[in-house]
Amino acid sequence: MKIIDVDVAVVGAGPGGCMLSYLLARSGVRTALLERHNRLDREFRGYFFQPSVVKLFDQIGVLEDIFHIPHQHVPKFTFVDHGKTLFEVRFDELEPPYNYGLTIPQPPLLEFFIGQAARYSNFTYFGGTSVTDLIEEDGTVHGLIAQNHEGEELEMRCRLLAGADGRHSTIRKLAGLSQTMGEFELDFVWFDIPKVPGKDYPLQIQIEDEGMLIYIPKGEDQVQVGWVIPKKTYPELVKKGIEDFVRTLIAVEPDLQNVLPRHLRSFKQCSVLDIQVGMTDTWVKDGLLLLGDAAHIASPFSGQGNSLAIQDAVIAHDTVMKALESGGHGIVPAELLKGYELYRKPAVAEIQSMQAMQARLIAMKSPGLLRLRRMLAPVMRRTPLFHQMRNKIALGVQRVDVNTSYFTK
């Protein structure tokens, strides 16, 4: 068995894990990043990054480099109700220069951050490496046991283990940390279609009698389409057949007649997102910290998942650096990590509450409530309360800045 010793082991090469690894590596910390998949070009659902992330990318000096990755500036997010704009979340009304969101394919973005971290000799990336167990003594995490795709076992000792491995986090489960799950009545079916030349595909939710369509621009020639269904009804959808599904979507958006029958031929082209909302009850313990979906699961409404994970990483970086500099060479105790949880958890909970409110607003079925929604939504758009909500969606509910003072020269 190969034995490795590092300061911080990060598990999960998603946006939060890659950002935290990069920040720690750039700060001179011996950092290892482990990812269970061999390749990063698997399907990712989250392509949208809020203006808050644009600011953070700029603070660490990589924004111009990221612009070399295929991307799109997003000036607004539109909610369309039966052909009429219900309301818009306009990022372009924010104070420049961070007055837009970005859609970026995740694989090249993650590869970029791993490449940037790899410029530092104190960083190592372990792709195709799955964590199988934690090294624990008296409730304190001292490291992990992992296995690569060739079956070779690895023992990694660390002062801190950061679990950034998603909603089904292996680290969270092995550490025995519990979650409080909320109820959500909807699931999303996702698929990609090519863009029709000359047709605009803004970031929007389109509501019709037959259901809801979500459009997310995905690079220069594709758009990601989401279809909202009642929870756990995907098997019924599949049973009716792909032709019935295509007919339903065309009934909602007739323009899809020109592309769907030719390009959506099988449910194998679709993926279903089982929407869950949850909060891990404790994010830290001696030698362990969770971030991103491993710590909290947000719904897809208003595109918060990537941004929350990256904000977590920025605050975790500052917390971890302070803890590592506090003296000694032993395991980082929970008492030095707790400030990260106390700062981030209320902010995430507030975003989750806003998402739940948006879901209830969009999922209304009663004719009376629908009429009321159409009357009030345009009026609300002009109120200070709406602008405050937009700012929280776009910029976060609390101040998050990268502490660049730790960066090595």
pLDDT tens-digit map of 242-300: 999 999 999 888 888 989 999 999 999 999 888 888 999 999 999 999 999 999 998 88
pLDDT of residue 407: 97
Cα 333–Cα 337–Cα 342 angle in degrees, nearest 5: 140
pLDDT of residue 363: 66
Coil, strand or helix: which one is 185? Answer: coil
Q: Going by C-beta distance under 8 Å and a sequence separation of 6 or more, which residues neighbour residue 200? A: none
**Rounded mean pLDDT of the chain?**
90
pLDDT of residue 155: 97
pLDDT of residue 216: 85
pLDDT of residue 58: 98
pLDDT of residue 371: 67
Residue 376 has pLDDT above 80, yes or no: no
pLDDT of residue 359: 73
Sign for the CA dihedral angle at 372, 374, 377, 378 comes to negative
Query: Mean of the pLDDT values across residues 203-219?
Result: 82
What's the pLDDT band for 47 if we cut at 50, 70, 90? confident
Coil, strand or helix: which one is 56? Answer: helix
Residue 199 has pLDDT above 80, yes or no: no
Query: Mean of the pLDDT values across residues 192-213?
Result: 82
pTM of the predicted structure, to 2 decimals: 0.93
What's the pLDDT band for 217 if we cut at 50, 70, 90? confident
Domains of the chain as residue ranges with CATH: 2-74+101-182+277-404 (3.50.50.60), 186-273 (3.30.9.100)
User: Cβ distance 65 to 119 under 8 Å?
Assistant: no
pLDDT of residue 89: 87
Coil, strand or helix: which one is 67? Answer: coil
User: Cβ distance 311 to 23 under 8 Å?
Assistant: no
**What percentage of the chain carries pLDDT values higher than 90?**
65
What's the pLDDT band for 326 if we cut at 50, 70, 90? confident
